[in-house]
């Protein structure tokens, strides 16, 4: 494994009426499913990064209210370790006219069963893991991140 620093990412598990909001995106020439997710920008808080990524990828305003978990995943083909902070929360506005990030092909509201049935399309094992943890009730207060601000 490489000695480089981990790539810090954020993701959002968004549930509405028993369905989860997933993005279908192009990654290395193939279509994959992922939570709305992306990289932390310099000077940005994790919570702000998550809200920004959800807006950019889905055109939905999102308010993170809890932390589902912190995940480490090593992606061998690119020799990159990802450190993912996955949030839960609520969407409260859809900006229908807002353009989505260019990699986004479509948005899907999937049940847990539908998501599992499409596991071959998951961008990483973290897609299923985050939903499974959310469904198990994993929900930490955002206060656990308070020391990371400032």
Query: Distances in Å between the alpha carbon of 108 and those of 2, 14, 111?
Result: 35, 11, 10
Q: Is the pLDDT of residue 79 over 50?
A: yes
List, edge to edge, every strand of the sheet that includes 60-75.
Answer: 37-39, 7-13, 80-94, 60-75
Q: Is the pLDDT of residue 114 over 60?
A: yes
Q: How big, in percent rounded to 5, are the helix, strand and coil portions of the chain?
A: 30, 45, 30
Q: Is the pLDDT of residue 80 over 60?
A: yes
Of the ranges 30-34, 83-87, 141-145, which one carries the lowest mean pLDDT score?
A: 141-145
Looking at residue 28, its pLDDT comes to: 84
> Which residue did the predictor score with more confidence, 76 or 110?
110
Q: Is the pLDDT of residue 3 over 80?
A: no
Looking at residue 2, its pLDDT comes to: 47
Kindly indicate the confidence band of residue 139, based on its pLDDT and cuts at 50, 70 and 90: very high
- What the block records as the tokens of 73 is 């995943």
Looking at residue 77, its pLDDT comes to: 87
Would you give the DSSP letter of residue 122? B
Domain 7-138 in CATH 3.90.79.10: yes
Q: Is the pLDDT of residue 53 over 70?
A: yes
């Amino acid at each position: 494994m490489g000695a480089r620093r981990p790539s810090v990412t954020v993701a959002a598990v968004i549930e509405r009426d028993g369905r989860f909001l997933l993005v279908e995106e192009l990654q290395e020439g193939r279509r994959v499913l992922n939570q709305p997710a992306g990289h932390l920008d310099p000077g940005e808080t994790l919570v702000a990064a998550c809200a920004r990524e959800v807006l950019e990828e889905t055109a939905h305003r999102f308010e993170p209210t809890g932390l589902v978990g912190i995940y480490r995943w090593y992606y061998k083909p690119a020799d990159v370790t990802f450190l993912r902070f996955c949030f839960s929360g609520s969407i409260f506005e859809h900006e229908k006219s807002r353009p989505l990030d260019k990699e986004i092909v479509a948005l899907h509201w999937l049940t847990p069963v539908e998501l599992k049935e499409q596991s071959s399309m998951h961008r990483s094992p973290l897609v299923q893991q985050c939903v499974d943890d959310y469904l198990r009730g994993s929900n930490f207060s955002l206060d656990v991140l308070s020391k990371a601000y400032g």
